[in-house]
Chain A
């Protein structure tokens, strides 16, 4: 399960993720992070069963946490099944089925947005702004 963690101005200076890992023992995989001196956002991947405890611990340390519901979404009316997205995706989200239609493994997506840049038909978008 993927969680979107936002660090506030103050909390940004504390090693929140490290502290959560230490205290909960849950192995957190940081898939994307933009952190500067005052604030930051991180996309983390954790086992589903650890969701509650990680969320609570993060919140208690001052971070806001929400579950990432959607990965990248493919607009089938715009997509022409070229496959420009296939090779640029670092997580192999896109693949062709036997009819040469582009398919999406949404769960793998970390919303890096690279495919949105590569799509000639503006057929890819996401709901959760990172």
Chain B
């Protein structure tokens, strides 16, 4: 059996359509079976409400007298894009204020406009014959703008990997605050309610499909940036009229240590045209799995601690290596439900009819990593290969002599097998000399917890280590802990002027 979109829309217009929210669907299908559910249900509404950093809006301000072609533009001190003609601009949600840093940004400008607040526009231009004006400052309300078109390049992620932190310090990430030593888990996404999780093959969701966006009736433009539905991480580009939006569904936020982002509500109605739609909308939280990634590893390829599904994440605790770890959601499940319910109301009341995609999104698309033609500097490009080290059973005096002769402040300490076991600095030696005690050998005064780097580690990561531990040098080791070089603050000077490229 199949149901045509025209039949569904006829029911919607007559106010007879049976509309359910996506979290109700698994129960309905379990009770009625696929065939009966197809006969019974006409539309499934979905919803999600979370941080969607890749969002923003186009504005047209209308022409001033005399007219200006704006080249640099600020809205409440948040810079907006000046590469469009005359009085058009695009403001990105994560752009931060030049005066208030991460406490205010593009997302706040968008929320303030939607909330009916006044926003100050400042702009500059070099002035031309046709656009003579050079500066402008004016307070604007949303109603003063000709257009305020939200257009978000990457929204409504199908799912998102959960985060944990195995290091011994607090991390502030776009996945929120991650406590040390696997102290908590954070996750994002509406699971059972998520639009793309209810249509993973992208049969009903594509260009032209009407949606709920920030409280307004918007539309899917097409695939979102970084779209990767083949791997279960589809995204959508969406648009909607900001003038019809509500602050209830458009909220600016600041992730401490990361920056500004925009929380926005997105919902998509899915017409139940065939058995495949019934089955895909019967998806449950338990069926949607993500990797739990260790954000303590500063790499694109973060290791997965385990797989975890949305039912576990939402339960409040997830077991990792026999330990129960508490979870925090960064997106709002209550608001996601609110979006799906509101959308359900719209369809029930005939305010929104259904449309099949005018252009399909390819479900086989997979995201690629950046093609890097020039690699950033690695430790081996700048490290100092002249290593002066000392044996752990040598006398402190010998260490002092080596430090003097080697013109260094850091001596890696090695054991009889030539492996790194500690480090001594001029400070350690001075201390030992100034307070003579029982210590006579290097091993008595060395620091055993040594911060190290490796030749192929990116310099940016190595510098983070130096800064974090407040040290000026560290041994460069191979995988067996042989010291192959030293990296000191002085070596970092080689980065200036691209000298590391040789």
| Chain A residues within CB distance 8 Å of chain B | 80-88, 96, 99-101, 114, 117-118, 120-122
Contact = CB atoms under 8 A, between A and B. Distances in A.
B224 interface: no
Contacts of A82: 50, 263, 328-332
Interface stretch (B72-80, B178-186, B228-236): B178-186
20 contacts: A80-B251, A80-B263, A80-B332, A81-B332, A81-B333, A82-B332, A83-B328, A84-B176, A84-B186, A84-B328, A84-B330, A85-B328, A86-B326, A86-B329, A87-B325, A88-B179, A114-B177, A118-B256, A120-B254, A121-B263
Interface residues of B, number: 30
Contact of A120 (B263, B325, B337): B263
Given A81-B335, A86-B327, A88-B184, 18 more contacts: A80-B335, A82-B50, A82-B263, A82-B331, A84-B329, A86-B329, A87-B184, A87-B326, A100-B334, A100-B337, A101-B334, A120-B51, A120-B253, A120-B254, A120-B263, A121-B253, A121-B263, A122-B254
Nearest to A89: B326
A101 B330 CA distance: 13
Nearest to B251: A80
A96 B315 CA distance: 10
Interface of B: 49-51, 172, 176-177, 179, 184-186, 251, 253-256, 261, 263, 316, 325-335, 337
Nearest to B174: A120
Most buried by A among B51, B176, B251, B256: B176
A39 to B, nearest CB: 27
A95 to B, nearest CB: 8
Q: Which 7 A-B pairs have the closest CB atoms?
A: A87-B184, A87-B328, A120-B253, A100-B334, A87-B326, A118-B177, A81-B334
B328 A88 contact: yes
A85 B186 CA distance: 10
Nearest to B51: A120
Contact of A118 (B50, B176, B326): B176
B264 to A, nearest CB: 11
A122 B254 CA distance: 8
A88 to B, nearest CB: 5
B174 to A, nearest CB: 10
